[in-house]
């Protein structure tokens, strides 16, 4: 009986794992974050990402940054635009990305968000 309850607990944990790790408000159609690559000066570099070709699942499955820091950035909400690139913004973004994420970081009162994939 104990083995059965342990096996059931493991199966429940595995089934709930992907749903628990997803950011709040995230769905395959509208992911809450994207990976961006930042060089040492805070400038963006292209990320090499693999994702589903589905119109429904718009999330990236894996992203690699060559010679740059991999950073999670929030996706802009509908009607919200990314901040314009400037040297001051790049330096602020570089400092904010030291922890590996821009989620919750702001510049001049606005979120440091990025465009959604394929938009």
- 111 pLDDT higher than 60: yes
- 88 pLDDT higher than 50: yes
Better-predicted residue by pLDDT, 12 or 116 = 116
pTM over 0.75: no
Say what the alpha-carbon torsion angle 42, 67, 97, 36 is, to the nearest 10 degrees. Answer: 90
Interval 33-59 mean pLDDT: 82
Residues linked to residue 103 through DSSP beta bridges, in sequence order: none
Interval 8-34 mean pLDDT: 52
- Sign of dihedral through CA atoms 57, 49, 110, 99? positive
């Amino acid at each position: 009986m104990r083995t059965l309850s342990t096996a059931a607990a493991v199966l429940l944990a595995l089934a709930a794992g992907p749903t628990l790790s997803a950011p709040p408000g995230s769905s395959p159609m509208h992911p809450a974050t994207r990976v961006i690559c930042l060089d040492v000066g805070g400038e963006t570099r292209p990320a090499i990402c693999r994702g589903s070709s589905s119109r429904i699942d718009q999330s990236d499955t894996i992203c690699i940054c060559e010679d740059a820091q991999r950073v999670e950035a929030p996706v802009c909400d509908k009607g919200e635009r990314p901040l314009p690139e400037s040297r001051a913004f790049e330096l602020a973004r570089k400092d904010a990305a030291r922890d590996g994420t821009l989620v919750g970081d702001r510049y001049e009162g606005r979120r440091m968000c990025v465009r959604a994939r394929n938009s």
